[in-house]
Chain A
Amino acid sequence: MKESISQKTLHKMVAKWASPKPETYRFKIYKDTSDFFRVEYGSVVVLDERPFLVLHNAKEGRFGLDDEEKFWVKRAIDLIDGSKKIIKLVFYEKFVANIAGIAFECFRSPRKEARILNLVKDHKNFMHGYGVEDEKKNIVRVLDIINGKPLNDYFQTLDIDHKTYFHEQFPEILNKYIECIKAIKFLHEHGEKHGDIRRDHIFIDRKNGDFRWIDFDYNYQHRENIYSYDLFGLGNILIFLTGMGDVLTPDLKKQNHPALNSLTDGDVNLVFHNRLANLKKVYPYIPENLNRILLHFSESANWFYDNTSQLLEDLEEYMQTK
């Protein structure tokens, strides 16, 4: 492969933004990123003539599991301006997901993520970045790093009782979450779905406290309603935020919680049966009109939200009356 950037130039660029390498060090340069395992620490990825120094693979932890290394996602430095980036290389993954015993086909789509990045480039509630093709037409995504933590991390360190949380912190959190729902509405209005709505796919931007969606490369073959799976995710997060975390029925049993006397099968999350959705039974000060929204995601629901507008309408009504 003919190198468009000399080793000498790379040494100079790296020394400007990172620890310099020994003079004898030879950078491996990749313009074709198809084999993402080969793109390792200290190599340089060149995308559209722009060199990026690869630092290490990104990791993702979830629900107490150890961080899982994502070999196709690299932390890197843009050697032109020194900014830190996340580079997502192409990893075509098709798999059958299973939720509550229901199997459905999922896949990763770099094209989808690149398209959405372009769509949300000026939207404050999404991660930012751009898609660029490498030499072999792989759609690589170059992402700005959000300085902050996933939403669920915030709750792990919260040391207050629910009542105090609900009255003092929840209103602001809900306001920010409503912005996030509006952001998903924006996607839907443009014919896109997020595809993997989870509490750890919202980052709280340390700079301004904004909630920002990340990771939208997941896609799935929809059936009747293209957006219902996103709505399911939005509901789960809403219940999580209202409850200051998951309110788990096994925990209530362990505590011999007085609410157990009044709990019915219909009070739990429609999909995750160990999570309580009817939170008012545990936290009676939760207003009826908010709890009613949560019940749309419960086993007793007799009507499901079809779209984000319906959910937002109910939430806005609650915000006006509280």
Chain B
Amino acid sequence: MNKEYPFNKNVLIAVDESENARRAVLYVAQLLEGTEGFRISILHVINEPEEDFFPNPEERDKWIIQHKNKVDKMLEEYRQILINRNFDPDTVSVQSTRRYCPSMSKCILEEKDKTEYSTIVVGRQGLSRTEEFLFGSISSKIVNYARNCTVWVVE
């Protein structure tokens, strides 16, 4: 007998300002086209900027405010992409959270674990092997570390 695995229709799209993140949003918008029952959440984790990067705390606070505004605008734009593809506005939410992330993929997965998502969607960054070696690849690590969910990596 085929065993049925419990999963829900909640989809988390992890995004940043990159073109590949936009592609991930567009993919979900085009694939699901507002299909009833799906709930979409668009997440951006703001990597808490190290204090070292700024000459003083005021500069840091200024950066955080400016960056948060930029992120809010980006998330709203992504939300509209989904709404324009027939998603009920009530089923599309956005969230940004600021935290210290030695590993961005782990931060994203920890955010996912806070709520019930059976599917996580990320864009592939298209890094060269050297870049992946020097800085790591968020999508690769999400694929490696994700548990109890399905990962869609959008090319």
Contacts and interface: CB of A to CB of B under 8 A. Distances in A.
Q: Do these two chains interact?
A: yes
Interface of A: 92, 99-100, 102, 104, 107, 109, 111-112, 191, 219, 221-229, 232, 270-271, 297, 299, 301, 304, 306
Contacts of A224: 103-105, 135-138, 141
A228 B129 contact: no
Contacts of A232: 133-134
B129 A225 contact: no
A276 B130 CA distance: 16
Contacts of A271: 130, 133-134
A107 B59 CA distance: 15
A227 B102 contact: yes
Interface string B98-114: 00001111000000000
B131 A225 contact: no
B133 A191 contact: no
A150 B102 CA distance: 30
B72 interface: no
Q: Which 4 A-B pairs have the closest CB atoms?
A: A224-B136, A225-B136, A109-B52, A223-B135
A281 B105 CA distance: 37
Given A109-B52, A111-B52, A112-B52, A223 B133 contact: no
Contacts of A92: 55
A306 B140 CA distance: 12
A219 B130 contact: no
Contacts of A301: 133
Contacts of A306: 136
Contacts of A104: 134-135
Given A104-B135, A271-B130, A299-B129, 10 more contacts: A99-B134, A102-B130, A102-B131, A224-B104, A224-B137, A225-B135, A228-B135, A271-B133, A271-B134, A304-B133
